[in-house]
């Protein structure tokens, strides 16, 4: 099994994300969580269109350690669970909100 993290340079690393496992919205949400710490670029892998390469580059002297890509991978899982839960149960939340903001009628 190949770990999806590739070290590119001292101030860069790349994570290859399988889009069969994660929705594009999930990938964007996970990237956003790290955008205040790193410059981030994403591109479709030229050899395999089912992978998106996410490249992190140091920003404001933030050190890139081996912990950062692991945190990113965990964030992908977290965001996918949120996405799946919303797809499965989001309609219930919408019904609750609709009921909560329904006009009150007096008799």
CATH number where 13 lies: 3.30.1360
Rounded Cα gap, residues 35 and 31, in angstroms: 6
pTM score above 0.85: no
Identify the pLDDT of residue 1: 35
In a domain, 107, yes or no: no
Backbone angles phi and psi of 89, in degrees to 5: -125, 5
Number of C-beta neighbours around residue 79 at 10 A: 21
pLDDT tens readout for residues 30-60: 999 999 999 999 999 999 999 999 999 988 8
The chain-wide mean pLDDT, for the chain, equals 87
The total of structural domains in the chain comes to 1
In a domain, 106, yes or no: no
Rounded Cα gap, residues 55 and 62, in angstroms: 15
The domain in which residue 89 lies consists of 5-100
Rounded Cα gap, residues 99 and 27, in angstroms: 32
In a domain, 44, yes or no: yes
């Amino acid at each position: 099994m190949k770990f999806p993290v590739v070290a590119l340079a001292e101030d860069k690393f790349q994570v290859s994300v399988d889009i069969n496992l994660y929705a594009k919205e999930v990938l964007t949400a996970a990237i956003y969580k790290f955008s205040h710490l790193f410059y981030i670029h994403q591109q479709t892998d030229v050899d395999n269109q089912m992978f998106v390469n996410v490249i992190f580059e140091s920003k404001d002297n933030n050190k890139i350690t081996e912990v950062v890509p692991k945190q990113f991978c965990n964030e992908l899982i977290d965001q996918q669970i949120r996405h799946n839960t919303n797809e499965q149960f989001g309609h219930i939340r919408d019904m609750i909100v609709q009921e909560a903001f329904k006009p009150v009628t007096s008799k």
